[in-house]
Chain A
Amino acid sequence: MGLAWKRPLIATGLLLSLGLAPPVMAETPPDMLVVGGRIDDIITLDPAEVFEFNGAEVSANIYDRIMMYEPENLTELVGGVVESWEISDDGKTITFTMRPDLTFHSGNPVRPDDAVYSLKRVVKLNKTPSFIVTQFGWTEDNVDELIEVVDENRFRITITEDFSPGLVLNALSATIGSVVDEQVVEANAVDGDMGYDWLKNHSAGSGAFELVTWNANETVVMESNPDYRHGAPAMQRVVIRHVPEPAAQRLLLENGDIDIARTLTPDQIAGLAGNDDIVVTDHPKATLYYVAANVAVEELSDPRVWEAMKYLIDYDGMEETFLQGQFVQHQSFWPKGTWASADAMPYTLDVEKAKALLAEAGYPEGFELQIDSLNTAPFMDMAQSVQSTLAQGGIRTEIIPQDGSALWPKYRARRHQLILARWGPDYLDPHSNADSFASNPDNSEEAGLTGVLAWRNAWADDEITEMTAAARSELDLERRKEIYEELQLLHQVRSPFAIMFQQNEQVASRSNVEGFVSGPVFDLVYYRNVTK
């Protein structure tokens, strides 16, 4: 219909484009990687502050960290800028030896002073991710004594709280373990801000790439570091383009305007089958999707109701349809495929059992509640599926979809009833998740443990909290693993968390692109081995 009257317009446009313009270029240059994704979450690229998915990804390619998981082997923790380390007998002090001859992008050598400066910077700036290291007992006042340079190629850290050294090393592989170039940063510092303003959109690292520009909601452009310690990356330039629409991303990929599409939906991926120019690769993630009940709500205070809820989710139905390929079922708080995970999955959709449990808890007729959810895919589809199966058991819910900026304040203030949300660990140690899902040392309103999921849902189980503390400080690796496995199984049954799925990132790329690595944690995405 609409075409007839639009023809003059299109004709004018086409005259311009076909008659005069050079043909539309449909291939990216050979030494340039163009990635399509969503980067609207980036608000800073300062490694002491970065805590958003995409910001952490970019920083992983710009900064080498003290400890690292390298793309060649994502399960082995190795030294980044450090070559080796020594742990004292009491497990409280670790002395690191730097790799020789490393340089920053600026040409400055990477010294132990830089590593010490970077860690102190995290503690002193005290931004959101600083808790990853301040939990070891570091504060603005004592950090100068606890983190210090030993000699020209060694530095030492001392912790005051009880933590397993393995956990400490793992924590130093998070973004806050990134080593920044002290001389460059201090040269750009204003009023003693340790370069806080400047590092937001500049880089001073020693990683495989250097930041060229970051235009919020548009692009991130990185250029390769020819002197990188693993050799210069094959790609001269990496451009990450913000393409929020999955359909648009797919179009761009099929037309060769981008090389890699990061956020396609399962249905888009299915639509790509049969296209020989496109390859789809799987990258298991540690991100978990769960439904949680705020136990401060009267109807949700009974553990039998929580159990009923776990039986009122159509895990199979969702996994086989709209989540196909991008999510796998997982029901404990530490994701499978990682050290110390427990993979038992006792729950399936069982309406009768759930009804019985609800009746036992005094709700034979069910009740009405609200369920909060993010308003993006796949949350909305998940929420609608959960809504319909909960209703079968008698729990009638109204979905309140909202943006993160509206949902998180509500969640942190414990004002939700049921919530559908996701969680990814901050570093690859089970403590990262146990500390949030399981441990809740003070459930009072005043405690304000707003970063802790258990506290947000007003749920505290003393035995589980104690087990979490015991696990984090256990020095014996085998024993530590056993405690975590036990803890997960206990948590699975006793908690108001119905953990449902673990994410599996499906990355679609042009068939000539190889070597892209996306690790289980959000800050382990590497472009340096990519060839095309």
Chain B
Amino acid sequence: MASSPPVPSWRAWLLLDVPKSSFQARCQRAYIGWLAFSSNPLALTGFLIILTLVLAAIFAPLITASDGLAPDLRNRLLPPSGEHWFGTDQLGRDIFDRIIWGARITLYIVGLVAIIVVPVGLVVGVVAGYMGGIVDQVLMRITDIFLAFPRLILALAFVAALGPGIENAVLAIALTTWSPYARIARAEALTIRRSEYIMAARTQGASLARILVSHVAPMCLASVIVRLTLDMAGIILTAAGLGFLGLGAQPPSPEWGAMISTGRQFILDQWWVPTMPGLAILIVSLGFNLLGDGLRDVLDPRGQER
């Protein structure tokens, strides 16, 4: 591992044996985590892939020459070339540009799913784990029911009911993915609720909501986030699968699954039309998986492969 030339001052500060402030302690933890993380080549690769994805999404207007939507019928189905790196599709749109714009959609999907799933899972899990008793029973029964559903088929049914479209696909995916998070958060909450500092907070008269929000929930976050990163690939694949079946994002939107779906009829003569978005999906979900694997090693060394 090639390490960058040391910058003594802040490096020393970060590696000081006895941290002087809680801020320094936190920074140290993060830095040591980063050291462990960056020494794992696979994880680093994953990180770089996701970083590229994010940058591509942010700077899409600068990277691309077109908006990836307007048809240009006279330039359809051109093979990859200097001008069109990934070729053009059946309506003459530049596939590279569409994939770059599609990065935004991909991030939008995973982001939205995360925004729905994490809070719901946390709330259900933390409340169930901390309160215990009948509340726990009821909440966990509901969670189990959702866990037991055949999810892809349920997602299909949801999208069919709500109508095809990206937001509905996200909602359907979220509805079928939140339950494991509740399980994880509950397990963490169960161990945390007996810890001394929670007792301390309780004796100081902190309200239930306050304990849950500022003491229990943050402690559950780490394992939830690891789980989330590992799930990202699955979310992307499910969204792409819905797009492939015509139930996700709708044309002309450059969603990758939908691009494969409309491009599949060209696979024999114009292989690049469905292949490029397929590769994009593969690389990005691989990136998330590598990143998740690495993060788990760093954040959650106990739960190997769990």
Q: Do A's and B's CB atoms come within 8 Å in the complex?
A: yes
- A interface residue numbers (CB < 8 A to B): 245-247, 250-251, 265, 267-268, 270-271, 314, 317-318, 320-322, 375, 377, 380-381, 383-385, 387-388, 399-403, 406
Q: Does B163 count as interface, using CB distance less than 8 angstroms? A: yes
Cβ contact of B251, chosen from A246, A247, A384, A388, cutoff 8 A: A384
Taking a contact as CB atoms under 8 Å apart, the answer to whether B91 and A385 are in contact is yes
Cβ contact of B71, chosen from A375, A384, A406, cutoff 8 A: A384
Contacts of A385 in B (CB 8 A): 71, 73, 91
For residue B70, which residue of chain A has the nearest CB? Answer: A388
Give Cα distance in the complex from A403 to B265, angstroms.
19
What would be 22 A-B contacts, judged by CB atoms less than 8 Å apart? A245-B264, A246-B265, A265-B265, A267-B90, A267-B265, A314-B73, A318-B73, A321-B74, A322-B73, A322-B76, A322-B91, A375-B164, A375-B246, A375-B250, A384-B71, A384-B91, A385-B73, A388-B71, A399-B250, A400-B250, A402-B163, A406-B163
- CB neighbors of A among B157-200 (8 A): 163-164
Cβ contact of A247, chosen from B91, B164, B250, B265, cutoff 8 A: B265
Give Cα distance in the complex from A307 to B266, angstroms.
36
How many A-B residue pairs lie within 8 Å, measured between CB atoms?
65
With A267-B77, A321-B73 already in contact, the answer to whether A247 and B268 are too (CB < 8 A) is yes
B11 nearest CB across to chain A (Å) = 38
Interface string of B42-81 (1 = CB under 8 A from A): 0000000000000000000000000000110110110000
Contacts of B266 in A (CB 8 A): 247, 267
Q: Does B267 count as interface, using CB distance less than 8 angstroms? A: yes
Give Cα distance in the complex from A399 to B269, angstroms.
28
Give Cα distance in the complex from A321 to B246, angstroms.
24
Give Cα distance in the complex from A387 to B269, angstroms.
27
Give Cα distance in the complex from A247 to B271, angstroms.
12
Q: Does B262 count as interface, using CB distance less than 8 angstroms? A: yes
Further pairs besides A267-B90, A322-B91, A400-B250: 20, Cβ < 8 Å = A247-B266, A247-B268, A251-B268, A267-B77, A267-B270, A268-B268, A271-B269, A322-B76, A375-B246, A377-B262, A380-B251, A380-B262, A381-B91, A383-B251, A384-B251, A385-B73, A399-B250, A399-B251, A399-B252, A401-B250
Cβ contact of B164, chosen from A250, A380, A383, A401, cutoff 8 A: A401
Closest 4 CB pairs of A and B: A271-B269, A321-B73, A246-B265, A317-B73
Give Cα distance in the complex from A228 to B268, angstroms.
42
Contacts of A251 in B (CB 8 A): 268
For residue B77, which residue of chain A has the nearest CB? Answer: A267
Contacts of A247 in B (CB 8 A): 264-268
For residue A317, which residue of chain B has the nearest CB? Answer: B73
Contacts of A399 in B (CB 8 A): 250-252
Give Cα distance in the complex from A377 to B74, angstroms.
19
**Residues of B in contact, count (CB < 8 Å):** 22
Give Cα distance in the complex from A383 to B71, angstroms.
11
- CB neighbors of A among B68-101 (8 A): 70-71, 73-74, 76-77, 90-91
Give Cα distance in the complex from A415 to B20, angstroms.
68
A416 nearest CB across to chain B (Å) = 14
Contacts of B270 in A (CB 8 A): 267
Cβ contact of B268, chosen from A271, A375, A380, cutoff 8 A: A271
Contacts of B90 in A (CB 8 A): 267, 322, 381
Contacts of A381 in B (CB 8 A): 90-91
Give Cα distance in the complex from A85 to B166, angstroms.
60
- CB neighbors of A among B242-285 (8 A): 246, 250-252, 262, 264-270
Give Cα distance in the complex from A347 to B267, angstroms.
36
Taking a contact as CB atoms under 8 Å apart, the answer to whether B265 and A245 are in contact is yes
Give Cα distance in the complex from A271 to B70, angstroms.
25
Contacts of A384 in B (CB 8 A): 71, 91, 251-252
Give Cα distance in the complex from A320 to B90, angstroms.
13
Give Cα distance in the complex from A318 to B91, angstroms.
10
Give Cα distance in the complex from A87 to B246, angstroms.
53
Contacts of B91 in A (CB 8 A): 322, 381, 384-385
For residue A377, which residue of chain B has the nearest CB? Answer: B265
Give Cα distance in the complex from A399 to B69, angstroms.
12
For residue B253, which residue of chain A has the nearest CB? Answer: A399
Contacts of B264 in A (CB 8 A): 245, 247
Give Cα distance in the complex from A402 to B165, angstroms.
10
Give Cα distance in the complex from A78 to B65, angstroms.
61
Give Cα distance in the complex from A375 to B245, angstroms.
11
Contacts of A375 in B (CB 8 A): 164, 246, 250
Contacts of B269 in A (CB 8 A): 267, 270-271
Contacts of B246 in A (CB 8 A): 375, 401, 403
Contacts of A400 in B (CB 8 A): 250
A303 nearest CB across to chain B (Å) = 28
Taking a contact as CB atoms under 8 Å apart, the answer to whether B268 and A250 are in contact is yes
For residue B266, which residue of chain A has the nearest CB? Answer: A267
Give Cα distance in the complex from A318 to B265, angstroms.
18
Give Cα distance in the complex from A344 to B252, angstroms.
33
Contacts of B262 in A (CB 8 A): 377, 380
